[in-house]
Chain A
Amino acid sequence: MDKKTIAVIFGGRSVEHDISIITAHTPIIQSLTASGQFDIWPIYIAKNGSWYSDKIMNDLEFFKRNDFENYLSEQKKIRLLFDDGLKIIWPGFRQKTIAIDIVFPAMHGTFGEDGSLMGLLRMANAPFVGCDIFASAVAMDKTLTKQVLAAENIPIVPFVWFTKYEWEKNKNGLIQKIKKLKWPLFIKPAHLGSSIAITKIKQESELENAIEVAFHYDDKILAEESVENLIEATLPIIGNDELQLGGIERPLNKTGFFDFNDKYLSGNKKSGGVNNQYSEIPANISADLKQQVENLGKQTYRLLGCSGIARVDFLIDGISQKVYVNEVNTLPGSLYCHNWRKMGISGVELVTKLVALAEERFQKQKNITYTFRSDILNQVNGKKITK
């Protein structure tokens, strides 16, 4: 059996650059390797935006070397060719070209998970794993996500959003608006994941500082009511039309809310991945809550037009038993492999299923007509074109 050539793209100009390196390897590259079905080309986008591909990067240990950036700086940067699919090229006297059959994006945050990379891959007419450009772009913006969900009556937590420009022009007006929300509040950058630059504030004196911190990372932020008596829950989902649910997972964080350290640095590093042993799967919640979470999860996935894989996060008020959809993550860290394993799906089964879903979506898109023949050009400079 001929192996499919797959490119795993990771790194990128994002604060979640390093998390992306981990996701790319644990489980993606390791599981693709274990399946024995793929010729894997790792494509690493450095923090400065340069693209490199070298099979030495299939090993996570490479990125633990102190000199890996020096090593790469001596390598040729790759070029991309969009010629009936994606090709990567090492230019030079002995030019080398590899045609890529399928792409597995493993990028978190900006210029990757936000739809940018998906746009590029659509232009290249290359099948790729995970959510498409539209779901990725909406899910990357927390306010836009909430607005889309609210329009379809999916319960969300009340919030106020504004840009840096608006804050500088109308600080007092916005503070008044924020004061009307039910405190305590969360101040969040609209586009960042991994809980970076999120602050919980209990009094007005903390507000401006929290907003300054968030604006340091983003141009658009939101102030959102905090759900007290909070039960957090998250639900990974895979599928295009037919959805398969992971286990409802409840993070067991010790601090007031889940920060970057809780998520990525406090786990059991030995077993790999970015989400280890800080959660309860399946979450010990009532059957009714479970039902609500699963239904809202599926609705949200469909509303945003997700495909391949995504994870929907929920906030549950433990007393009122009200469930809110908080946000959607279109590339869950390490694909939430630990969760899928608990549901009996191994890393290899997960990645091969995601590849199959990507191919299925690509085939469907191929059947859509994007062009049609017209004689409009012949009419230019001749007769008057009327609309």
Chain B
Amino acid sequence: MESQKPKISNGVKNWLSLYNPRYIRSLAYMLQASEYNIRDYVSWLARVKNFNKVENRKHLASTPKSLFVIAFISIIILCIYGAAFAILLQWANPLKYLVFILIIISAPHLLSYGIIIPLWLFTFFIQKPTEHFIINRTEKILRNNKSIKIAIAGSFGKTTMREILKTVLAEGQKTAAPPDNYNTPIGISKFVRQLTGNEEILIFELGEYYSGDVRKLCQMIKPQIGIITGVNEAHLQKFKTTDAAADTIFELADWLKDKTVYVNNENALAKNKALNNHIIYNRDGVGNWRVQGAQTDLTGTSFILENNDLRIEVKSKLLGLHQIGPLSVAADIALRLGISPEKIQQGIAKTKPFNHRLELKNYNDGVILLDDSYNGNPDGVDAVIEFLASLKNHKRFYVTPGLVEMGLKTESVHKEIGKKLAKAGIEKIILIKNSVTPYIEQGLKENGYNGEIQWFDNAAAAFAALPNLTVNGDIVVLQNDWPDQYA
């Protein structure tokens, strides 16, 4: 009975979590979720209060590596405890009791920080050389592959761009692209190993986490065409400034020099860095192509591409006017590669929202769900709010835990979201309690929001409540999802 359990303060609970057998699993999970990156793991470690609660949104995946890590950590902790007991039994000095207690008490901390040493040794002596070998092999395979290589860089919109290109170009050419989030050297290498050599077009997303990442990927892939989708505050926690992020993303343009580079000038930071020889794209067109008659609703987005006498009327199932720019880029590249306007039309008709990216789902008796849970960047949020504002005659719900990795811009980015939601007149805002959502509330209130704000302790509680909050015809946007390391 909840009310009858003895009350233990949170501080004591947090401290006890260090001595729970689950602690070992939690450390293994944190390493896995941080992709064994020492910097990320240590910064997470410093923030955790209760180690019983690190696995919230996801759980430890059972892989050979994670099992090895669990076994390794277990051995270390046994060694620490073994050493403590050895001192207690073998050492004649009376201080042994104090030393014994100190070791036992500090064992979890010794363990959590102690494993960084073997992890670093492993990274330096095994992982890095292995990766170097793999990357060289990939570079060689790609050098021998005669396909056209297109690379996409940007803080946001890479996956959507990749999927649009893949769908449109596949209408006329043999096209392949890595699945999921394979945007690191190792991820791309996995994909490259499966290539047959018959491909005519290869499309790559370039992941940017630290300065130099994009350049390294360019050296490995050697793309002929580049697309820069934009620069914003995504990953600002790592880059510190948007200028640093922009420099990293524009490593693609630097590498391509005078080859074809498309730049999204709907994004202010990308626009500022675009050069004269770059091809600009936005919802009004791309290069010499002009967009006419653009419309968007829950069934998709339609527009006409015009270039002198050529006119291509297209309709995509992608939602929102912000999709017109990327769709136009795909049409332009397709035409340059000799794909006919009819095929382009067919290809664009086949484009549809990718998983969890403004994906339309019907659930719970006629409630319209717009799943945008993989979209966690300010430009994507703007696009969704703009789209939501265009949908009238529906009660609209906007559910969000806010955005992660916004660094010093956390407050301004979230206040801006609140402001845009207020201006769009979204009827109900559901906020998940954490360090950033109060700024959204502040932005809402400062801009005269007169709808309803409701708070939930966590996303699971909000999702569970939604069927009881909604009726047929309501629209629910699920905006972003927080991984555990940000909770």
Contact = CB atoms under 8 A, between A and B. Distances in A.
B4 A341 contact: no
Contacts of A90: 1, 3-4
Contacts of B455: 36
Interface in A140-178: none
A35 B467 CA distance: 11
B364 A98 contact: no
Interface residues of B, number: 20
A239 to B, nearest CB: 19
A348 B474 CA distance: 14
A94 B3 CA distance: 10
Contacts of A54: 1-2
Contacts of A348: 465, 468-469
B3 A27 contact: no
Interface string B455-487: 110000100111111111100000000000000
A94 to B, nearest CB: 7
Residue from the set B1, B464, B467, B472 with the largest chain A CB neighbour count within 10 Å: B467
Given A271-B364, A341-B365, A344-B471, A34 B4 contact: no
Contacts of A53: 1
B454 interface: yes
Contact of B365 (A31, A33, A55, A271): A271
A341 B464 contact: no
Interface string A13-34: 0000000000000010011011
A75 B1 contact: yes
Nearest to B457: A36
Contacts of A94: 4
A54 B472 CA distance: 34
Interface residues of A, number: 27
A96 B4 contact: yes
Interface string A287-312: 00000000000000000000000000
Contacts of A98: 3
Nearest to A37: B454
A89 B2 CA distance: 13
A181 interface: no
Contact of B465 (A33, A76, A342, A345): A33
A346 interface: yes
Tell me which of A36, A90, A345 has the highest count of chain B C-beta atoms within 10 A of its own C-beta: A36
Interface string A75-95: 110000000000000100010
A36 B454 contact: yes
B2 A55 contact: yes
A273 to B, nearest CB: 10
A27 B467 CA distance: 10
A234 to B, nearest CB: 19
Interface string A322-365: 00000000000000001001101111100000000000000000
Contacts of A346: 468-471
A76 B4 CA distance: 10
B468 A31 contact: yes
B457 to A, nearest CB: 10
Given A54-B2, A94-B4, A96-B3, A34 B472 contact: no
Nearest to B473: A344
A57 B470 CA distance: 24
Contacts of B464: 30, 33-34
A345 B471 contact: yes
A34 B470 CA distance: 11
A34 B469 contact: yes
B4 A347 contact: no
A341 B467 CA distance: 10
B456 A36 contact: yes
Interface in A74-131: 75-76, 90, 94, 96, 98
Nearest to A32: B468
A272 B470 CA distance: 15
Contacts of B467: 30, 271-272, 347
A342 B367 CA distance: 11
Contacts of B456: 36
A75 B1 CA distance: 8
A305 to B, nearest CB: 30
Contact of B468 (A27, A56, A75): A27
B468 A30 contact: yes
B321 to A, nearest CB: 30
B468 to A, nearest CB: 4
Interface in B1-57: 1-4
A143 to B, nearest CB: 37
A30 B461 CA distance: 10
Given A34-B464, A36-B456, A271-B364, A76 B1 contact: yes
Given A30-B464, A34-B464, A271-B364, A347 B3 contact: no
A96 to B, nearest CB: 5
A347 B464 CA distance: 12
Contacts of A76: 1, 4
B143 to A, nearest CB: 53
Contacts of B470: 346
Interface string B359-383: 0000011000000000000000000
A36 B430 CA distance: 11
Contacts of B2: 54-56
A76 B2 CA distance: 12
Contacts of A342: 471-472
A341 B472 contact: yes
Contacts of A96: 1, 3-4
B475 to A, nearest CB: 14
Contacts of A30: 464-465, 467-468
Interface in B423-473: 454-456, 461, 464-473
A33 B470 CA distance: 14
B46 to A, nearest CB: 32
A55 B5 CA distance: 12
A199 B469 CA distance: 39
Contacts of B468: 27, 30-31, 33-35, 346-348
Contacts of B472: 341-342, 344
Interface in B245-293: none
Contacts of B471: 341-342, 344-346
Interface string A261-272: 000000000011
B111 to A, nearest CB: 34
Contacts of B454: 36
A28 to B, nearest CB: 10
A185 B465 CA distance: 45
Contacts of A27: 468
Contacts of A35: 468
Nearest to B456: A36
A56 B3 CA distance: 11
A347 B1 contact: no
B402 to A, nearest CB: 18
Given A75-B1, A90-B3, 6 more contacts: A35-B468, A76-B4, A341-B471, A344-B472, A346-B470, A348-B465
22 contacts: A27-B468, A30-B465, A30-B468, A33-B468, A34-B466, A35-B468, A36-B455, A36-B456, A36-B465, A54-B2, A55-B2, A55-B3, A90-B4, A94-B4, A96-B1, A96-B3, A96-B4, A98-B3, A271-B364, A338-B365, A345-B471, A347-B467
Interface of A: 27, 30-31, 33-36, 53-56, 75-76, 90, 94, 96, 98, 271-272, 338, 341-342, 344-348
Task: List the 10 closest A-B pairs by CB distance, nearest first.
Answer: A34-B465, A347-B468, A34-B468, A31-B468, A55-B2, A341-B471, A54-B1, A346-B471, A96-B3, A348-B469
